Chains A and B, each alone.
Chain A
Amino acid sequence: MLELQHINITFRKGLIGRGSKPVLEDVSLSISKGELVSIIGFSGSGKTTLARIAVRSINPDKGKIILDGEDISRLGFKEMSRYRSRLQMVFQHPEGALNPEMTLGDSLREAVRKAGYSGKSFEEKLDSLCAELEIKKELLNRYPMQVSGGEIQRIALARALAFDPNYIFMDEPTSMLDASVQAQILKVILSRKESMGMGIVLVTHDLDIVRSISDRVIAIDKGKIVAEGTAEEVFSSQIPYIKDYVDSWNELESINRNIGLHA
């Protein structure tokens, strides 16, 4: 189980930090092996910040991160590298997270190597990742600037999945993919959940996806968890914040109907 306990963080403004508001306030959540938890919330509510804290890419002001019973909140960068195969994150804007000077193949190979593969198994792992994520082999010789948005997104996913992590945080992982590739990748993720017991935290604004694949949904409002439960429970909540969110989603569908369109 991966647990976040009483997480607090404020990004200070300037040296004194006057007028800084907390971005996360006493947030606690846990995910079990083989569970898929979706996080929803309006822009700026703190979803990405929470994910970055969970994978230790930034430190909270207060709170603990417990991975399978072990407190990892204070581990340094070097020590954290031992946990790579247990905890991974896919960033919201992956194009900024890849080294622009490295070919995509080298970026991916680096991950596969770090995941402990060599020789024949190395090539096999590389091939299977490319097949799973629909990455054309010829893309591997190119640099990040030389491929499409969705192609980068798939490379970033492949890098994280190379480690066969026990837990993965995915921040809008399919936002630049067409429906077919998106469906393919969600299938891959669900099958890893089933077969390897991968625990998944998915940040997405697509309520159709949330509804169809989540075991549990968490709603976050201005840095606080305001609801938690199954998709049906959360979506039917009477909390104004969630009603607003779900109503906006429905309105989005109906804006189109207003101009005479149907899916």
Chain B
Amino acid sequence: MSDPIISIRNLTVEFPTAEGKFRALDEVCLNISEGEHVAVIGESGCGKSVLGHSILRLLDGISETTGNIFIKGADVRSMSERELLAMRGQEVALIPQSPTVSLDPVIKIGKQIGEVYDVHGVPKQEWKEKVVESLGNIGFEDPQNIYETYPHRLSGGMCERTVICMGMSLKPAVLIADEPTKGLDPASKIDVLKTLNRQTNGKTLIMITHDYNAAKICERTVVMYSGRILEDGPTEEVMRDPKHPYTKALWGAMPCNGMIPIAGSVEKAATGCDFYNRCEHRCDECKDLHDMKQVSENHLVRCCKC
């Protein structure tokens, strides 16, 4: 296999809080190859957005980070401010989780998307048409009109689609999409998934999501829980034949599978497996932390029962 485009090694991110340090990511290791489409799924609060933000180094100053992140071999954690600016948007772009907070209320939609081009030196004559076209691609019936509109006049789904446009605009080598399909009607979701799929063809996509339809457009799925990766494998296999007890329980909670919530609540274990307190199959061995173990080709699981 070729060198990974993203290589994350022992990434630990801690936030100072009133109760002491809170560990949002715990020794995360992840290699992503160029052109790979990876879904990152898992419990709400398990560190998915923190992982996305860390790759772009957006948590400087508010967190303590150890470990390494390499993008095309370059060490992100030692990049200068200038190198970071050049990397963000063009090499790696983010579609943020909260569209309302990310949109500037006093700037028209067209101009906001256009600013991304501006920052990277694309002249306005060139970007105006592209912006209108990209708005059309994700299902706006009247893109010209949306271009001239302020964010507060848009519905929730329209705001979401606007930030998706923004993230995709520079056709970055790596796109991190944080929950891009939330709150979208099924037709918009199809437009967004198709567009994401097309725009990232041959490029790298990290799709953070709770939406299994969105995960399914990715060939690989990584399952996280409490700041750690528990399972990592081909999406089709992880969905059809999940191995980790957490992944299995998560599928059981889906509306189409009976909506059974996982009993108990998240408690980070002092040692060993973080799912211990909720796991039906727990045993003494789980009190030690196990490495990811291969169960089939490209399918890894962190569980002593597998």
Q: Give A contacts to B, CB under 8 Å.
A: 11, 41-44, 48, 92-93, 95-96, 134, 136, 138, 141-142, 146-151, 154, 171-172, 175-184, 186-187, 205-209, 211-212, 244-245, 248-249, 251-253, 255-256, 259-263
**Residues of A contacting B45 in the complex (Cβ-Cβ under 8 angstroms):** 136, 147-148, 150-151
Residue in chain B with minimal CB distance to A154? B44
**Given A42-B188, A263-B212, are A134 and B17 neighbors across the interface (CB < 8 Å)?**
no
Task: Of the listed stretches B109-117, B127-135, B248-256, name the one at the interface; the rest are far from the partner chain.
Answer: B248-256
**Residues of A contacting B153 in the complex (Cβ-Cβ under 8 angstroms):** 11
A93 lies within 8 A of B193 (CB): no
**Residues of B contacting A248 in the complex (Cβ-Cβ under 8 angstroms):** 185-187, 189-190
Contact with A along B113-150 (1 / 0, CB 8 A): 00000000000000000000000000100000000000
Pairs across A and B, CB under 8 Å, 30 listed: A43-B188, A48-B155, A93-B183, A95-B100, A136-B265, A138-B18, A138-B22, A142-B17, A148-B49, A150-B44, A175-B182, A176-B182, A178-B210, A179-B210, A179-B250, A179-B251, A180-B250, A183-B259, A186-B259, A205-B186, A205-B189, A211-B255, A212-B259, A248-B186, A248-B190, A252-B186, A256-B216, A259-B217, A260-B236, A262-B240
- A172 CA to B249 CA in the complex, in Å? 23
Q: Give 12 new A-B contacts, CB below 8 A, not counting A42-B187, A180-B250.
A: A43-B139, A95-B98, A96-B100, A149-B179, A176-B179, A176-B182, A178-B44, A182-B259, A184-B261, A186-B259, A249-B186, A252-B190
**Given A43-B188, A138-B19, A175-B182, are A183 and B97 neighbors across the interface (CB < 8 Å)?**
no
Contact with A along B13-45 (1 / 0, CB 8 A): 001011100100000000000000000011111
Partner of B183, one of A92, A142, A260: A92
Task: Of the listed stretches B2-10, B86-94, B156-164, B169-177, name the one at the interface; the rest are far from the partner chain.
Answer: B156-164
B155 lies within 8 A of A44 (CB): yes
Q: Give B contacts to A, CB under 8 Å.
A: 15, 17-19, 22, 41-45, 48-49, 97-101, 139, 153, 155-159, 161, 179, 182-190, 193-194, 210, 212-213, 216-217, 235-236, 239-240, 249-251, 253-256, 259-262, 265-266
A149 lies within 8 A of B261 (CB): no
A93 lies within 8 A of B210 (CB): no
**Residues of A contacting B259 in the complex (Cβ-Cβ under 8 angstroms):** 179, 182-183, 186-187, 212
- A207 CA to B213 CA in the complex, in Å? 13
B255 lies within 8 A of A138 (CB): no
**Residues of A contacting B253 in the complex (Cβ-Cβ under 8 angstroms):** 178-180, 182-183
B186 lies within 8 A of A178 (CB): no
Residue among A48, A134, A147 facing the most chain B CB atoms (10 A cut-off)? A134
Q: Which 5 A-B pairs have the closest CB atoms?
A: A150-B44, A43-B157, A208-B255, A248-B186, A184-B261
B171 CB, min distance to chain A CBs, angstroms:
22
**Given A92-B156, A187-B261, are A252 and B97 neighbors across the interface (CB < 8 Å)?**
no
- A251 CA to B97 CA in the complex, in Å? 25
**Given A42-B185, A42-B188, are A179 and B254 neighbors across the interface (CB < 8 Å)?**
yes
B140 CB, min distance to chain A CBs, angstroms:
9
Residue in chain B with minimal CB distance to A179? B253
A183 lies within 8 A of B261 (CB): yes
A48 lies within 8 A of B156 (CB): yes
**Residues of A contacting B18 in the complex (Cβ-Cβ under 8 angstroms):** 138, 141
- A251 CA to B190 CA in the complex, in Å? 8
A141 lies within 8 A of B17 (CB): yes
B32 CB, min distance to chain A CBs, angstroms:
19
**Residues of A contacting B255 in the complex (Cβ-Cβ under 8 angstroms):** 179, 182-183, 206, 208-209, 211-212
